[in-house]
Amino acid sequence: MVKDYFKNVERAVKSIRKKVKAFPQTGIILGSGWGDFTAKIKGCIIPYADIHGIPHSCIKGQEGILKIGNDCAIFAGRFHYYQGYTLAEVVLPVFILKELGIKQLIITNAAGGIHPSFNVGDLVLINDHINLMGNNPLRGPYEEHQGVRFPDMTDAYSKRLIKLAKKSESSLKEGVYAALSGPNYETPAEIRMLAILGADMVGMSTVPEVIAASFLSLEVLGISCITNMAAGISNRKLNHDDVIATGKKAGHMLSSFLLSFLKATGSAL
């Protein structure tokens, strides 16, 4: 991590604590198309511009707010490596949520489907990942008091939380998520390569946050919404507007799942 990184995290947390005193144990990072869920939660809204030291710019389809309710704290809008942010900046919400006291982290994204059994609109639980971003958020000086220098990634995606998620919604599928740096969509040849490597879906986020969460010993549930079939899987060309539109169409289902899952984990709303 960069020098003084954890001091920046502390400053961000202080600016949040000025507005909210009590914090829940569940943190959520929402990806493209998941914004409908934010409206379902009652709580304090803090624009990113009011949080010390974090980026303000999110991509189209993401709100750019932190909403803190009684039972979950939601970062609605993430920062992406392809926007020019460092991975240290990308994972700032994870470190902030940890300092605010969360114990479990739900990370969501929009993904391209690779596995032939997946359909547009499916919710898929991430049970493992392949990091092809060419970088790692933990590179740099090590702060021993913050986490483990060489985090074990065997159970980066909590088997316990996956089991609870399936109790909440039995139709959920599971799969391996591959992360590339973007911002271009993958070529058909790259998708064929990813399938050979064992990837079931592909995107441009999530993995840095999960690595940071493992460093901080947070329990993680990862969820992808299949918003398009990856290049070469279908004849349709890809564009971000379709991703947003599909996410909005699936918004009610996504929100219902998250609400029922939070109740199953003891975070009754």
How confident is the chain (269 residues) per 10-residue block, as mean pLDDT?
81 93 91 75 92 77 83 90 93 96 94 94 96 94 80 96 90 96 94 98 97 96 92 76 70 83 70
96 SS3 class: helix
Residue identified by tokens 């809204």 is 45
CB 176 within 8 A of CB 130: yes
**Could you give the CA distance from residue 177 to residue 180 in angstroms, rounded to a whole number?**
10
124 SS3 class: strand
Which residues is 175 bridged to in the sheet?
126
What pTM was estimated for this model as a whole?
Answer: 0.92
**Could you give the CA distance from residue 206 to residue 239 in angstroms, rounded to a whole number?**
20
**Could you give the CA distance from residue 110 to residue 113 in angstroms, rounded to a whole number?**
10
Number of Cβ atoms within 10 Å of the Cβ of 50: 15
**Could you give the CA distance from residue 103 to residue 83 in angstroms, rounded to a whole number?**
29
Which domains, ranges and CATH numbers included, belong to the chain? Answer: 5-264 (3.40.50.1580)
**Could you give the CA distance from residue 69 to residue 99 in angstroms, rounded to a whole number?**
16
Q: Kind and range of the H or E element at 168?
A: helix 159-168
Q: What is the pLDDT of residue 162?
A: 96
Q: What is the pLDDT of residue 186?
A: 94
For residue 39, what are the CA distances in angstroms to 13, 140, 240, 251? Answer: 23, 38, 23, 11
Total residues found in the chain within this entry: 269
33 SS3 class: coil
Q: What is the pLDDT of residue 237?
A: 76
